[in-house]
Structure 1
Amino acid sequence: MRDVNLELASALYDMSAVAGDSQRAWGYKRAAKAVLRIDRDITPLVTSNTFKAIAGIGPTTDRIARELILDGRCAFVERAVRESGKEQEIARLHNLRRQYLSRAAVKQIVARKGSPSRAKYRGDFQMHSIYSDGAETLESIINACIERGWSCAGMTDHSYGLTIAGGMSMERAIEQHAEIDALNRTYGGRFRMFKGIEANIRADGGIDMEQHEMRRFEYIVASPHSALRKSIDQTERMVAAVSQRGVAILGHPQGRVFNMRLGVLADWSRVFEVAAKRQVAIEIDGSWSRQDVPYELAAQALEQGCIFALDSDAHSHAELDFAEIAIAHAKLAGIPQAKIVNYWPEKKFLEWAAGAWDR
């Protein structure tokens, strides 16, 4: 499937790189972000001369879009890149945009029939509240989830080792768990919030929490947040992480960010082999800038027998919709619902999560 919106945004980011540190560079980035937010294919907008009416879209962006749609390529951008002398730098940036999906592409993919279904998605198992670096209270998050038709969610504020993200102390975790218990009593029969934590994977593959502390939670998401720009192989680090007792989900495994970094370099076949053996779920993090793991790597993990978690990594109510991005990648990867923990009944989910200590 061609993602014209993403192609145009990428071309605009190329023009921003050509422009360097200037007002024009800012304008191209603004236009690229506007294109990525559009929820439908831009082709009919361009051909009907209505594309320029969208905020942030100027004459140059319209010209680039026309060339892309009518010619299948953009000679204007290609020439600008060639004349800038930045071809190698921009080629490197192209690798930082691979296997991302625009909002329009996500909407189109999620609307397709088949598994996994948005309608049957039970809830999101990675999100953040005011207990760490999120913007919302627990109860407001529950109501936002209910509005989306979900019946459960897992709260995974950052562990205390990640101080830059307001990591939650164990004292605060105890307070949070008491609040979750009270809310589950209030919303019993309508909604269940699980007690999770997003623990940090250290450089050596260990987790930044003691085992007795980890056992206070119903499940553990272990995610890399450091050493994400290094060009060294980090296979052993990630194998150690999925081998850690108690770890249920490997969160945003690569740690990649759109147009910024590739993230962890590893022999993912080895990581997936160990994860499949231990039944550690591989996360597809739907946060727009992450989309991690992307569909091709997810398909590889599926082939190796892995199970999955499709999550939003939300830090606000609006970002809960990022779960759709995770669903879109799972659809492209051909992952059946039976292999995705977000579709499992509560009893099965809890038994699997508890089993992370014994597998």
Structure 2
Amino acid sequence: MKRSAAPRANVKRATHTADRRPRRQSARAWAPPDDPNIAAAGFLHDMALLQRTERSRFGYKRAAKMVAAGIDRSVRELIAEGTLRDVPYIGPATERIIAELIASGGSAIVADAVAASTARGEVEKRQAFRRAYLSRYAMRQALDAPFAESIVSRATYRGDLQMHSTWSDGVESIASLADAAIALGYTRIGVTDHSYGLPIAGGMSMASAARQHREIDAVNEQFGGRLRVYKGIEANILADGSLDLSRDERRVFEYVIASPHSLLRRSNDQTARIIGAVREPGVAILGHPQGRMYNSRPGVRADWRRVFREAASRRVAIELDGNWHRQDIDFELARVALDEGCLFALDSDAHSLGELPFTDYAIAHARIAGIPANRVVNCWDAKTFDRWLSERRR
């Protein structure tokens, strides 16, 4: 199964609270919630591409970001109440476009502007980069929907397995991340700074990794069993499917996430590359497998069913990366992975404390896909989780 990619944006704290009226849904076949916010953001991004001045482009992008990732309520409700203009960065022009969308399901303003523009091809290309993303509003709907108790939820989630500290491109200390994790109710986290093969992200040398591990030991001692910090690493998948860490170097860590950070705009099939990474000794998690970015790039093209089948046979977990820009993999591909028997890791990919709640997006996609908690490694008890990690390190 081949997939191109989809959408992105930044997240601010919500300025509105949602009026949620969840309906009973099937555990395995729940359709994504109606998401006028993500549709509105798409139209506003289309308009941004057509603007002649940077100021106008920025205005549309800022409004798109807010309706997609900054508010908990549906723009449909806000239009009905007459309060859409109370949302930051929504002005008369953006309000008219959103009102058209709610009234008709489309926007003549945007359609006419695109038709008259020489940028039509670029607009259509970017539209394909927004597939199967959730707005903040839709994410909240998915978290609150009354699924069967077996389906993964916030209540069954024990800890985040991808985050970055000051040892690579994060901005928080390990102790700060641990403090925040305890406040979120976690019993475990994994610090997964970048490996040395990604210098642009401040990738750690092996000497730095040794020093980091001493710091993690001290943090674990400090928290006295309330939280376990695991010594992870995010390794890079190279062009041939190998990793930038040798097999011996991987053994230094308690687990390895293998992620693509290059060749993400290529149109060629990269199935062999991704399967090669899954087969590499010591890999526990295939991180943000597509490498997609909202409104920016489609990410890796591959026969994902083949990739997932290989991962399932080796008990390598498939990550749902909750970073708003990534949402990778999404609920559509997650259903395919579930059908192939995969394990899953639902992570924030946080680089700051404010990004730790991105796990909510990963959980929301997993719920829409119908993934049970017993297939999610973040939900396992400590003994089962540690046994799986030991198995992956052999």
TM-score class, shorter-chain normalisation, is: over 0.9
The separation in 2 between residues aligned to 1:167 and 1:151, in whole angstroms, is: 27
Other-structure match for 2:287: 251
Q: Would you identify which runs of 4 or more consecutive aligned residues in structure 1 move more than 3 Å?
A: none
Q: Does 1:158 align with 2:194?
A: yes
The alpha-carbon deviation at position 339 of structure 1 amounts to: 0.3
Listed as ranges, the gaps of 5+ residues in structure 1 are none
**What pairs up with 1:172-183 in 2 under 5 angstroms?**
172-183=208-219
Match of 1:64 among 70, 91, 97: 97
Q: Which moved more, 1:84-93 or 1:184-193?
A: 84-93
Q: Does 1:315 align with 2:351?
A: yes
Other-structure match for 2:296: 260
Other-structure match for 2:79: 46
Other-structure match for 1:332: 368
TM-score w.r.t. the length of structure 2 is 0.89
Residue by residue, what CA displacement relative to the aligned partner does 1:223-247 show, whole Å, maximum 9, x if unpaired? 0001111111111100100000100
Residue by residue, what CA displacement relative to the aligned partner does 1:224-272 show, whole Å, maximum 9, x if unpaired? 0011111111111001000001000000000000000001111111111
Other-structure match for 1:274: 310
The separation in 2 between residues aligned to 1:347 and 1:157, in whole angstroms, is: 24
Residue by residue, what CA displacement relative to the aligned partner does 1:88-135 show, whole Å, maximum 9, x if unpaired? 221111110000111111111111233211122100000000000000
Conservation of the 8 A alpha-carbon contact between 2:169 and 2:193: yes
Which amino acid letter does the alignment assign opposite residue 61 of structure 2? K
Which amino acid letter does the alignment assign opposite residue 49 of structure 1? G
**What pairs up with 1:86-97 in 2 under 5 angstroms?**
86-97=119-130
2:263 match: secondary structure:
coil
The alpha-carbon deviation at position 303 of structure 1 amounts to: 0.2
Q: Does 1:111 align with 2:144?
A: yes
* Higher RCO structure (Cα 8 Å, ≥6 apart): 2
2:232 match: secondary structure:
strand
Q: Does 1:19 align with 2:43?
A: no
Conservation of the 8 A alpha-carbon contact between 1:249 and 1:281: yes
Residue by residue, what CA displacement relative to the aligned partner does 1:284-309 show, whole Å, maximum 9, x if unpaired? 00000000011100100110011100
The alpha-carbon deviation at position 19 of structure 1 amounts to: 1.4
Q: Which moved more, 1:317-326 or 1:30-39?
A: 30-39
Q: Which moved more, 1:342-351 or 1:302-311?
A: 342-351
Other-structure match for 1:341: 377
The separation in 1 between residues aligned to 2:175 and 2:382, in whole angstroms, is: 20
The alpha-carbon deviation at position 35 of structure 1 amounts to: 1.1
The separation in 2 between residues aligned to 1:3 and 1:175, in whole angstroms, is: 46
The separation in 1 between residues aligned to 2:172 and 2:146, in whole angstroms, is: 33
Other-structure match for 1:10: 42
Listed as ranges, the gaps of 5+ residues in structure 2 are 1-32
Residue by residue, what CA displacement relative to the aligned partner does 1:16-45 show, whole Å, maximum 9, x if unpaired? 112155321111111111112112112121
Q: Does 1:141 align with 2:173?
A: no
Q: Which moved more, 1:111-120 or 1:156-165?
A: 111-120
Q: Does 1:290 align with 2:322?
A: no
The separation in 2 between residues aligned to 1:21 and 1:281, in whole angstroms, is: 45
The separation in 1 between residues aligned to 2:221 and 2:381, in whole angstroms, is: 19
Conservation of the 8 A alpha-carbon contact between 1:218 and 1:350: no
Identity %: 52
The alpha-carbon deviation at position 189 of structure 1 amounts to: 2.6
The alpha-carbon deviation at position 357 of structure 1 amounts to: 3.7
2:154 match: secondary structure:
coil
The separation in 2 between residues aligned to 1:356 and 1:139, in whole angstroms, is: 27
The separation in 1 between residues aligned to 2:77 and 2:221, in whole angstroms, is: 50
Q: Which moved more, 1:31-40 or 1:237-246?
A: 31-40
**What pairs up with 1:70-89 in 2 under 5 angstroms?**
70-89=103-122
RMSD of Structure 2 on Structure 1 (CA): 1.0
Which amino acid letter does the alignment assign opposite residue 191 of structure 2? M
Other-structure match for 1:195: 231
**What pairs up with 1:229-244 in 2 under 5 angstroms?**
229-244=265-280
Match of 1:213 among 243, 249, 256: 249
1:119 match: secondary structure:
helix
The alpha-carbon deviation at position 86 of structure 1 amounts to: 2.9
The size of the alignment, in residue pairs, is: 358
Which amino acid letter does the alignment assign opposite residue 240 of structure 1? G
The separation in 2 between residues aligned to 1:234 and 1:20, in whole angstroms, is: 37
Conservation of the 8 A alpha-carbon contact between 2:129 and 2:296: yes
The separation in 2 between residues aligned to 1:162 and 1:328, in whole angstroms, is: 30
Conservation of the 8 A alpha-carbon contact between 2:254 and 2:393: no
